[in-house]
Amino acid sequence: MAASLASSASAAVVRVSESDFLAGAGLITFSEFAVGTVNPTYAPADYGGGAGSPTVTFDGWFVGQSLSATPGVDCPGAAATGCVVGSPTGPLALDAAAPDTFISPDGANPTSPVLSGTPLFNGPIAVLFSEDQ
């Protein structure tokens, strides 16, 4: 019987400030692609990233996660459609079965368009960088 190695990954909300970014980090504005683009993928050239910058991809959550069956307990006060639970499993990857993200206009936001989860403005968004940041 062969031995197997299990790996896991973790996810959390991590707040970053502008000073955390490198000079060549570029900027994703969501105006790089058409409104309606689903689960956009940004190569460094798409967002002005410098040499060694990552490809950035979006979807609803990571493999190993799901919507909560008890959102009132897990995410009190939040939209049930955005209450994601579970720990990602390794290797870290976006889950193609998750609700899609998409580029949407937002008349209330001066930097429209924006990225939204599904449903509009109330769904989860996961971000995957091709390289550790």
Amino acid at 86: G
Residues facing 75 on adjacent strands: none
pLDDT tens, residue by residue, 53-73: 899 999 999 999 999 999 999
Q: Residue 118 and residue 81: Cα distance in Å, rounded?
A: 8
pLDDT tens, residue by residue, 102-128: 999 999 999 999 999 999 999 999 999
| pTM exceeds cut of 0.85 | no
pLDDT tens, residue by residue, 3-35: 545 555 556 667 778 777 766 778 999 999 999
DSSP 61-78: -BTT-EE-S-HHHHSTTS
Q: Fill in the DSSP letter of residue 115.
A: E
Q: Residue 9 and residue 4: Cα distance in Å, rounded?
A: 17
Joined together, the tokens standing for residue 16 give 């970053």
